[in-house]
Amino acid sequence: MIRQYLAATRAAFMVGIVYRFGFIFTIIGSFVYLGVAYFLWRSIYASQESMRGLTFNQAFLYVALGSAIFVLLKTYTDWELAYQIREGMIASLLIKPIDFQLYTLFISFGLFLINVLAITLPTFLALVFFFRVEFPLGPGVALFPASLVLAFLVSFAIDYFIGLLGFYTESTWGLATTKDIIITVFSGALVPLQFFPQAMQDVLFFLPFQAIYHTPIMMLTRPDLPLAELVAMLGVQGFWALALLLLSRLFYNQAIKVLRISGG
């Protein structure tokens, strides 16, 4: 049974490999961003060694990893679902004997693997060999892979939910764009959450967005945190991943009832 879903992952991965120029320019764009971020944060830290409890090395590492993980966790599920619904192509998927949510998840995982090769690995290599960034060792490093997988599941669940709104609106461009802006700003992908006012931090840490970027990034930038605190952060991620996947599944059962095929 699982074989058909793995085939979907392989197909998505091979499609990404085919577009070699996009693959190469993605790597180049990542290097350019790292260079800009390095000199920007170097100038910010020119007159002080630490800000908000973060040293320059930690802040730059946070931002660099944030950009890499941001691209890594972009599933584009919301855009793809909206397109399939609008064009009527989703009908051919719904008649197949597959779990639609699981199928969509494995398709997104294929894109995830592409981004690992195009963004994550080159970023790590550039940080180590070119920018000479030191990765502090600690229990967080061992927990990082699990945290990254949970972050992917949270990101997918949110994108999947937005995509399902296409059953009602037929176009989710505005919703998807607004969602991207909210997550970019309030998840720690753009600016470390430590730089927000304390009152806002209290709110942001209560929302699921921080589970996408802030938590996995903290696993690498602050791996010296107590193990109990790191495990608690991982538990919060697990809670949001499970809750959002369940909620999006329940929402699918309702949204499918209003399906209108207007193309295909």
Rounded Cα distance, 54 and 58, in Å:
6
**C-alpha span between 130 and 123 (Å, rounded):** 10
**Among the listed residues 89, 108, 100, 102, the one whose alpha carbon sits nearest the alpha carbon of residue 253:** 100
pLDDT number for residue 18: 66
Q: CB pairs under 8 A, 24+ apart, for 3-6?
A: 4/98, 5/98, 5/102, 5/103, 5/106, 6/106
Q: Decide: 27 and 34 in contact? Cβ < 8 Å.
A: no
Residues found in the chain:
264
User: Confidence class of residue 251 from pLDDT cuts 50, 70 and 90?
Assistant: very high
R_g of the chain computed on alpha carbons: 19
Alpha helices (runs of H) in 19-76, residue ranges in sequence order: 20-44, 56-72
pLDDT at 89: 81
Residue 4: both structure tokens together: 């058909």
User: What does the domain layout of the chain look like in residue ranges?
Assistant: 2-258
User: What pLDDT, in 10s, does the model give residues 143-199?
Assistant: 988 999 999 999 999 999 999 998 888 778 888 889 988 988 888 877 778 888 888
The larger pLDDT score, comparing residue 160 to residue 95, is at 160
- Whether residue 264 is predicted with pLDDT greater than 50 in this model: the reply is no
What average pLDDT does this structure show over 224-233? 87
CA dihedral 84→86→91→92, nearest 10 degrees, is -40
Look up residue 157 and give its DSSP letter. Answer: H
Task: Give the model's pLDDT for residue 169.
Answer: 84
Q: Any idea which of 23-27, 59-63, 249-253 has the lowest mean pLDDT? A: 23-27
3-state secondary structure of 51: strand
H-state helical runs in 165-197 = 166-169, 173-186
**Cα separations in angstroms, 131 against 8, 34, 35, 38, 61:** 37, 9, 9, 8, 10
End-to-end CA gap in the chain: 28
Q: How far is CA 209 from the centre of its chain?
A: 10
- Residue 76: what pLDDT? 86
Q: What pLDDT is stored for residue 57 in this prediction?
A: 79
Q: What is the pLDDT of residue 192?
A: 78
Q: At what angle do helices 77-87 and 173-186 cross, to 10 degrees?
A: 180
Using CA atoms, how far apart are residues 107 and 18, in angstroms rounded to an integer?
16
Per residue in 41-90, pLDDT (tens digit) is: 888 888 877 777 777 877 888 788 777 787 788 888 998 888 888 877 88
What's the pLDDT tens digit per position in 97-150?
889 999 999 999 888 888 787 777 777 788 888 887 777 778 888 898 899 999
Of 15-29, 120-134, 198-212, highest mean pLDDT: 198-212
pLDDT at 263 over 60: no
